[in-house]
Amino acid sequence: MKIEQQFRALFENGIFPVTYISPDGRVMRTNIIGAKNLGGVPDDFVGRSIYEFLPDMADAIKKRIKQVLEAGVGGQYEDCVKLPDGERWFSSFLQPVRDEGGKITAIQVICEDNTERVKAKQELQKTESRYRQIVENAATPIMYHALDGTILVINTAGARNLGGIPADFIGRPIEELLPLQAVKMRERIAQVAESGIHATEFEDCVDLPSGKRWFSSNIQPVTDESGEAVAVQIISLDITERKWAESSLRDLSHRVVEVQEFERRHIARELHDQVGQALTGLKFCLEIAVHESAEKRKESFSEAQTIIDDLMTRVRTMSLDLRPSMLDDLGLLPALLAHFKRYTAQTGIQVVFQHQGIQERLSPKVETEVYRIVQEALTNVARHARVPEVTVHILAQSGLVALKIKDEGIGFDPTLKTASGQTSGLIGMRERAVLLGGGFTLHSVPGEGTELVVELSLKGPDHIGT
């Protein structure tokens, strides 16, 4: 009797819902937790049909009872059950209960509440799905490699770089896809897997079907539950444009140094050939005058005065070419007007000048670069275009200054000009525009003239094109 009481206590107060159902679906017994799940106490359900309390499960329960009665063995099932307090997930174990003669008189149903586990699993699946979507739709190439280099996962961006779709590359060794980088990549995979370092970055120039591209790659290990590396993740960022920009900047720096040296040599020649010769002539003239008669000395002084006047003119011209003081004192517009006047007087070429928005002062850097570009462009026109007239148009508005210089001269082929190396002036103008983050466009056709267009930001290099 004591054993039976203990068994009954275990049944009534068990932590798992336990219910005994008759072959026709009536509740014969249920424990406290089982009745609580149904929204009551055991006496509320004994003798009543289980289908009454779980109508949504009626068909499934009937089918399972039938299988137990016919096969004589139980089964295990997992269901989402609608209960009074909401939906819950249960693993149910059905077992036949037999009498002394072996006849099945009831079905025992033991349930385990798996709601939290199922929700966690569903949330994990959602997280994995979201992660797959993020990886798949990322603009950055992402790959997972086995430790032997075989590709386990690759997203669309990575596959596109290799010239296909993800399915083309799954399971293939790295040697087939990037033979030139394979040895290096295998070494890195082994290094990261062995060291367990969470993130290691490398920069490489990679040969792809579309050509050479530069990538900055972040490699980190993928570990199992024990912390052992089983794969590596590689996230790559295409830095080709940055590398090109760095290369262009280096070239530009070298070019700036070359231009500085060229200007210094030019100034040195001008000082030697013009100022130096004039000063030498003045020195001889004055030395001779010391030993001459008063009448002759007067002629020598007159000649010396002429040399001095010429010397002053030459120095003033050199000063204007180097840096017109008017540009600093009065601004771009007066400096350009003065330059056009001197230019026409020296070359005979008329300058048709149209402008808007430059009456007010611009930044010193912009004024200087616009002036120098105009100066160089007009010099090229005088040397090569063979025209009586050139048009200069400057428009400053909306944070930009646009400069267009056009002539109807003989023109040239820019490609041939570049190949022959006769482009120092053009290179200088382009570099001035680039230094301010601007744009430079040159259009010229033999026999049809030349048009040069430059756009500069009035706010600085970071604002061009915004």
Q: Does residue 148 sit in helix, strand or coil?
A: coil
Can you tell me the distance from the alpha carbon of 134 to that of 128, in angstroms, rounded to the nearest whole number? 10
Nearest-10 Cα torsion for 77, 80, 83, 85? 130
| 2-119 and 328-466 agree in CATH topology | no
Instruction: Yes or no: say if 14 and 33 are a contact pair by the CB < 8 Å rule.
Output: yes
Query: How far is it, in rounded angstroms, from Cα 3 to Cα 40?
Result: 28
Residue 355: the pLDDT is 93
Between β-strands 27-30 and 211-223, what pairing exists: parallel, antiparallel or unpaired?
unpaired
- The yes-or-no verdict on residue 40 having pLDDT over 80 is yes
C-alpha count within 13 angstroms, C-beta hemisphere, residue 110 = 12
How far is it, in rounded angstroms, from Cα 403 to Cα 28? 96
Fold of 138-238: Beta-Lactamase (3.30.450)
User: What is the percentage of the chain residues whose pLDDT exceeds 70?
Assistant: 88
Query: Residue 16 carries which side chain, given as an amino acid letter?
Result: F
Any idea what the Cα angle at residue 371 is, between residues 365 and 375, rounded to 5°?
A: 145
Mean pLDDT to the nearest integer, 56-81 = 91
pLDDT in tens, 113-163: 998 888 888 888 887 777 777 777 777 888 888 988 898 888 888 888 888
Q: How far apart are CA 415 and CA 274, in angstroms?
A: 36
Residue 252: the pLDDT is 67
Q: Which two tokens stand for residue 148?
A: 């032997």
Q: Residue 463: its pLDDT value, please?
A: 44
Res 464 pLDDT > 60: no
Lowest mean pLDDT among 87-91, 209-213, 426-430: 426-430
Structure tokens at 63: 């089918």
pLDDT value for 410: 92
pLDDT exceeds cutoff 50 at 466: no
Bridge partner list, 354 = 393
| pLDDT tens-digit series, residues 212-230 | 888 888 888 888 888 888 8
370: enclosing H helix or E strand:
helix 364-380
How far apart CA 67 and CA 47 sit, in angstroms, is 22
Q: What angle do CA 183, 187, 190 make, to 5 degrees?
A: 140
The two structure tokens encoding residue 342: 């001197």
Task: Note the helical H segments in 196-293.
Answer: 240-270, 277-290
What pTM, to 2 d.p., does this model score?
A: 0.44
Domain boundaries, given as residue ranges, for the chain? 2-119, 138-238, 243-322, 328-466
Element at 348 (helix H, strand E): none
**198 band by pLDDT with thresholds 50, 70 and 90:** low
Q: Which residue has the higher pLDDT, 285 or 81?
A: 81
**Residue 189: its pLDDT value, please?**
84
- CATH 3.30.565.10 for domain 328-466: yes
Residue 249 tokens, joined: 């900047």
- Rounded CA gap, 261 and 283, in Å? 30
pLDDT of residue 49: 93
CA–CA dist 400, 368 (Å, integer) = 15
Q: Is the pLDDT of residue 349 over 90?
A: yes
- Residues 386-396 have a mean pLDDT of 94
What are the distances in angstroms from CA 177 to CA 108, 137, 164?
A: 60, 22, 11
* CATH code assigned to 2-119: 3.30.450.20
